Amino acid sequence: MPKRPSMYEPFEAQIKEWLKDEPALSAAGVLQRLTEIDPARFKAKNIRMVQRLAKAWRMEMAGLVNLDGGWIKSLPASPAAEAASDAGFLTLATFGNISR
C-alpha cells in the first residue's frame, strides 16, 4: 500500500532552506511561516508534527553541516568565549551515556 503524501511534502525544500539559512529557527517559527503561506492548511494544532519534522530534517542536514562546518563559523562566539579569546568552537558531542 503506498504511503499517503504528507501535507508538508510540497514545502519540504522551502522548510529545509529556512533551517539551513537560520539554524536557530524554531519549529514554532517554521509553523508561523507556513501559516502565513497557507492559513487554511496550517494551524497551531500542527506544532507537534512540525517539531518532529524539523528535528528529523535537522538531523538529516547535520551530515552536511558537519562536513563543511561553514554555518558554525557564521555564528557569533559567546561573550564569555570572546572575553577569554576563545574561538568559540564546539567539540564533537557524544550522545547518551552508554559506551559502545
User: Number of folded domains in the chain?
Assistant: 1
Tell which residue, 59, 60, 35, 57, has the closest CA to residue 46.
35
Domain that includes residue 27, residue range: 9-73
pLDDT digits (tens, 9 = 90+) for 6-26: 899 999 999 999 999 998 999
Contacts of 15 (CB under 8 A, 6+ apart): 8, 30, 34, 53, 54, 57
C-alpha cell at 73: 563559523
Confidence band of 71 (pLDDT split at 50, 70, 90): very low
Please check whether residue 25 lies inside any domain of the structure. Answer: yes
Confirm whether 82 is domain-assigned: no
The number of CA neighbours under 13 Å toward the Cβ of 39 is: 1
Closest C-alpha among 9, 76, 96 to residue 49: 9
User: Within a domain: residue 39?
Assistant: yes
Question: How far apart, in whole angstroms, are the C-alpha atoms of residue 24 and residue 97?
Answer: 26
Tell if the pTM clears 0.75, that is, is over it. Answer: no
